[in-house]
């Protein structure tokens, strides 16, 4: 079968479309014919060898897929061969076939296409668990979302607005504010031209932010502690600008705020929590108030272009890698 393989850490040219052996099905696992694989910032980090939870090389990137069930390992009884599914994988998604743990494979409702099925698992479930597992989002909370035009940011905005919260966003690229405003952010700050802390203080009349969602790290994360209210919460999920500074303790003490470095991988082993998030997202999709903004679908032989776009930070929404491309 064909797969995109990274044999050793590197740039986009480390991505090679090659023939590899088919994966072997084990107990408690599901074999999936992949229709689409979602592309995430984490995939570029895995390829580069800088992902916080390292993988051994060679590795096939791709941690979320949709497709058709081809085979079931012993002990799997909630699925059938031929089911349309969405799944989280321990990498391996950029391939014509992949293996996923059965607990992380969910049958898709007829109303949800296979393209959407590959576009939401990592980002939508990350958004949900930040808002409702790590934090307890409430009506009238004020949420600051960095990288508001990115995949996670746009989903956080929609979920927060649906709950009656107010959202302030930040972007670093001209034009990305449009989609964030479309989904309900009341104000979006361009980090290149404005001071987001000053804007937050103006909008909240000095009260500060209830919850900060940050995927940038470095200086943006550090300055977020100047924007959070007393007893507020800061959640970090990425390091696009660089690693967090080593002063987190000193930053949380002045306001008794709390800090979480969140990874969806820490929710995956908990079947109850995982299903709670999946049920929420699938219901939201069925009710059509949650939109997954798929902006481009790329064939396997153009995977390098897809990673180039992600790393160029020009994308407002979700990129998919088309494997079979069946919807």
Distance between CA atoms of residues 299 and 320, nearest Å: 9
Share of the chain above pLDDT 70, in %: 100
pLDDT > 90 in the chain, percent: 81
What's the confidence (pLDDT) of residue 51? 84
Contacts of 132 (CB under 8 A, 6+ apart): 277, 280
Query: Hey, what are 142's tokens?
Result: 């004020």
Could you tell me if 116 and 128 lie in one domain? Answer: no
Residue 307 lies in a domain: yes
Q: How many domains does the chain have?
A: 2
What range does the domain containing 156 cover?
123-265
203 belongs to a structural domain = yes
Q: Give strand pairing partners of 169.
A: 145, 188
114 & 186 share domain: no
How many other CB atoms are found less than 10 A from the CB of residue 245? Answer: 13
Question: Is 280 inside a domain boundary?
Answer: no
**40 and 109 housed in the same domain:** yes
In the chain, % helix, strand, coil (3-state, to 5) comes to 35, 30, 40
CA distance 84 to 241: 37
Q: Give the Cα separation of 310 and 319 in Å (integer).
A: 8
| Residue 34 is assigned to a structural domain of this protein | yes
Co-location of 96 and 136 in the same domain:
no
Q: For the chain, what's the residue count?
A: 327
pLDDT beyond 80 at 53: no
CATH code of 306's domain = 3.90.180.10
Average pLDDT, the chain: 94
Q: What is the pLDDT of residues 215-243, one digit of tens each?
A: 998 999 999 999 999 999 999 998 878 88
On whether both 100 and 210 belong to a single domain, the answer is: no
DSSP class of residue 56 equals: P
Q: What is the pTM of this model?
A: 0.90
My answer on whether 29 and 98 are in the same domain is yes
Give 317's pLDDT tier (boundaries 50, 70, 90).
confident
At 173-209, the pLDDT tens digits run 888 899 999 999 999 999 999 999 999 999 999 999 9
- CATH number for the domain spanning 140: value is 3.40.50.720
When pLDDT is averaged across residues 152-169 and rounded to a whole number, the result is: 97
Q: Is the domain of 72 the same as that of 144?
A: no
Residue 295 CB burial class (10 angstroms; 0-12, 13-18, ≥19): middle
* pLDDT (tens digit per residue) in 273-301: 999 999 999 999 999 999 998 989 999 99
């Amino acid at each position: 079968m064909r797969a995109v393989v990274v044999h050793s850490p590197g740039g986009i040219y480390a991505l090679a479309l090659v023939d590899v052996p088919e994966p072997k099905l084990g107990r408690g696992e599901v074999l999936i014919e992949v229709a689409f694989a979602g592309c995430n910032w984490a995939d570029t980090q895995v390829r580069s060898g800088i992902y916080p939870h390292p993988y051994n090389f060679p590795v096939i990137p791709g941690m979320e897929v949709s497709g058709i069930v081809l085979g079931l390992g012993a002990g799997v009884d909630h699925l059938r061969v031929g089911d349309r599914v969405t799944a989280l994988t321990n990498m391996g998604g950029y391939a014509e076939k992949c293996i996923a743990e059965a607990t992380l494979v969910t049958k898709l409702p007829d109303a949800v296409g296979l393209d959407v099925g590959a576009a939401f698992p990592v980002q939508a479930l990350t958004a949900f668990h930040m808002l409702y597992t790590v934090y307890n989002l409430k009506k009238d909370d004020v949420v600051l979302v960095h990288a508001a035009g990115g995949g996670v940011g746009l989903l956080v905005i929609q979920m927060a607005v649906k709950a009656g919260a107010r959202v302030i966003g930040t972007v670093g690229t001209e034009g990305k504010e449009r989609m964030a405003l479309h989904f309900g952010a009341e104000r979006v700050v361009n980090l290149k031209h404005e001071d987001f802390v000053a804007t937050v203080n103006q909008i909240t009349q000095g009260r500060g932010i209830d919850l900060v969602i940050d995927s940038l790290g470095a200086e943006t994360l550090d300055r977020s502690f100047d924007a959070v209210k007393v007893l507020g919460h800061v959640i970090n999920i990425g390091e696009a600008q660089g690693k967090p500074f080593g002063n987190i303790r000193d930053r949380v003490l002045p306001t008794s705020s709390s800090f979480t470095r969140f990874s969806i991988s820490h929710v995956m082993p908990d079947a109850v929590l995982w299903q709670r998030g999946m049920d929420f997202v699938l219901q939201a999709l069925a009710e059509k108030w949650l939109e997954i903004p798929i902006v481009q679908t790329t064939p396997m032989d153009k995977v390098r272009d897809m990673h180039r776009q992600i790393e160029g930070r020009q994308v407002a929404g979700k990129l998919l890698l088309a494997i079979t491309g069946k919807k």
